[in-house]
C-alpha cells in the first residue's frame, strides 16, 4: 500500500499542506492542485492512485472533476468538503465517489479512510466477480459482462459506476438469493459494515433508474422488506 500517488485538489493551501504532511508520513507521494482544471490535467498526465477532492473550487468544481475523471479512470475518489448536507453526500456518491468526508475532519480518520480505499483498490482489487470465473450473465435483454465490466439492455450500453456494477453483478450472479444490506456493503465496499445502509440504498436506487426498472412491469432487483435485496431473473 505504501508508495501510492495521491492527488489532493483543494484551494485552501493550509488544508492541502496538512493532508500532504499526514499522508507523506504514511509513505505516500502527494501532488497538490489548487483548482478543478489543474486536477483534471494532472490526472490525465500523471499516474494517480487516489484522488481527494474539495467540492467548492475555482474554475471547475469537485463534482464536475469527479464526473470527468470517472469517464476514463477508476482510481478511488474521496470528497473532502465543508458541505455537510445529506443531499451533497448522496450527490457525491451517485457521481462516482467512493467516500465522503466533511470538514473539519479528524486526521486519523482521514488516514484510515485513505488507506482503506487504497487497500481495496490495490491489494484487494480482485472482487467477488471471480467467483463465477467471470461468466457473462444474461437475463432476457439484460447482458452483464464482468470481464469488460459492461452492461447492456437490448444492445444499448448502460453506464454504471464501479459500485453500481459490482452490486448488480453480485445480485445477478446469485438469482433468488436474498442479500442483506450488510452483506452487500461488506462484499462490494470490502469493509466492515457500520452505517452503510443509506449508502447501499442510494446506489441501488440509482442503479434501478439506470437499468430502466421504472419502465418494466417485471423488476429485476426486488426489495425484501426488512431483510435486503434479491435479483429476480
Which of the listed residues 123, 143, 160 is the one where a domain comes to its end? 123
Instruction: Give yes or no: residues 154 and 221 share one domain.
Output: yes
| pLDDT, tens digit, 9 for 90 and up, residues 196-232 | 557 888 899 999 999 988 777 778 999 988 888 999 8
Is pLDDT at 52 greater than 70 in this prediction? Answer: yes
pTM score of the predicted model: 0.58
Domain that holds residue 106: 5-123
Contact between 37 and 63 under an 8 Å Cβ cutoff? The reply is no
pLDDT of residue 130: 45
Which of the listed residues 105, 123, 141 is the one where a domain comes to its end? 123
Alpha-carbon span 221 to 142, nearest angstrom? 12
Nearest to 33 by CA among 47, 23, 43: 43
Which of the listed residues 123, 147, 180 is the one where a domain comes to its end? 123
Alpha-carbon span 233 to 213, nearest angstrom? 13
Own/partner pairs, 149-156, CB within 8 angstroms, 24+ separation: 151/211, 153/211, 153/212
Contact between 205 and 91 under an 8 Å Cβ cutoff? The reply is no
Q: How many structural domains compose the chain?
A: 2
Amino acid at each position: 500500500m505504501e508508495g501510492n500517488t495521491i492527488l489532493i485538489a483543494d484551494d485552501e493551501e493550509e488544508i492541502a499542506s496538512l493532508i500532504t504532511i499526514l499522508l507523506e508520513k504514511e509513505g505516500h507521494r502527494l501532488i497538490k492542485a489548487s483548482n478543478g482544471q489543474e486536477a483534471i490535467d494532472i490526472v490525465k498526465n500523471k499516474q494517480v492512485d487516489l484522488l481527494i477532492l474539495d467540492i467548492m473550487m475555482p474554475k471547475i468544481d469537485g463534482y464536475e472533476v469527479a464526473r470527468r475523471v470517472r469517464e476514463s479512470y477508476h482510481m478511488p475518489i474521496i470528497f473532502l468538503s465543508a458541505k455537510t448536507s445529506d443531499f451533497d453526500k448522496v450527490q457525491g456518491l451517485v457521481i462516482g465517489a467512493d467516500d465522503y468526508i466533511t470538514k473539519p475532519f479528524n486526521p486519523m480518520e482521514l488516514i484510515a479512510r485513505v488507506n482503506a480505499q487504497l487497500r481495496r483498490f490495490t491489494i484487494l482489487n480482485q472482487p467477488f466477480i471471480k467467483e463465477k470465473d467471470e461468466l457473462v450473465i444474461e437475463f432476457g435483454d439484460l447482458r452483464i459482462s464482468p470481464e469488460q465490466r459492461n452492461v447492456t439492455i437490448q444492445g444499448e450500453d448502460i453506464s454504471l459506476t464501479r459500485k453500481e456494477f459490482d452490486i448488480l453483478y453480485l445480485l445477478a450472479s446469485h438469482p433468488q438469493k436474498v442479500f442483506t444490506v450488510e452483506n452487500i456493503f461488506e462484499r462490494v465496499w470490502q469493509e466492515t459494515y457500520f452505517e452503510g445502509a443509506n449508502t447501499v440504498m442510494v446506489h441501488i436506487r440509482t442503479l434501478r433508474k439506470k437499468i430502466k426498472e421504472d419502465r418494466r412491469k417485471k423488476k429485476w432487483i426486488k426489495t425484501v422488506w426488512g431483510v435486503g435485496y434479491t435479483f429476480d431473473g
